Amino acid sequence: ILNVEQSPQSLHVQEGDSTNFTCSFPSSNFYALHWYRWETAKSPEALFVMTLNGDEKKKGRISATLNTKEGYSYLYIKGSQPEDSATYLCAFEGNKLVFGAGTILRVKS
């Protein structure tokens, strides 16, 4: 059974704080690692798809890194804003997507 773990489970930060989350996944049969942001009552939105060991991707204040050999990815948010409040999901892609349980981020203004 594939196990994708995310930590922490939830996080409450102040506006302006920088934060990071972890996703750990199996290091075998790896094809891609996906990060999604899921706001309440909306569709999960793709943030990044990462395929190569050492990949680093950035979109505005959000960035992610990938280590396929040790099986982890970090998502960083610099200068958190209230609109960053959402659940952040990672998904391991082998022959299908296997999701972690997500990290719930709440940013207080």
The residues that touch another protein, with contacts defined as CB under 8 A, are 4, 6, 34, 36, 41-46, 49, 89, 91, 96-102
Question: 28 vs 41, which CB is nearer to another protein?
Answer: 41
Minimum separation from the CB atom of position 9 to another protein (A): 8
**Distance of alpha carbon 23 from its chain centroid, rounded?**
6
User: How crowded is residue 7: how many other Cβ atoms within 10 Å of its Cβ?
Assistant: 12
Instruction: State how far the Cα of 67 lies from the Cα of 72, in Å rounded to an integer.
Output: 5
Radius of gyration of the chain (CA): 13
Question: 1 vs 14, which CB is nearer to another protein?
Answer: 1
Minimum separation from the CB atom of position 107 to another protein (A): 21
Minimum separation from the CB atom of position 59 to another protein (A): 14
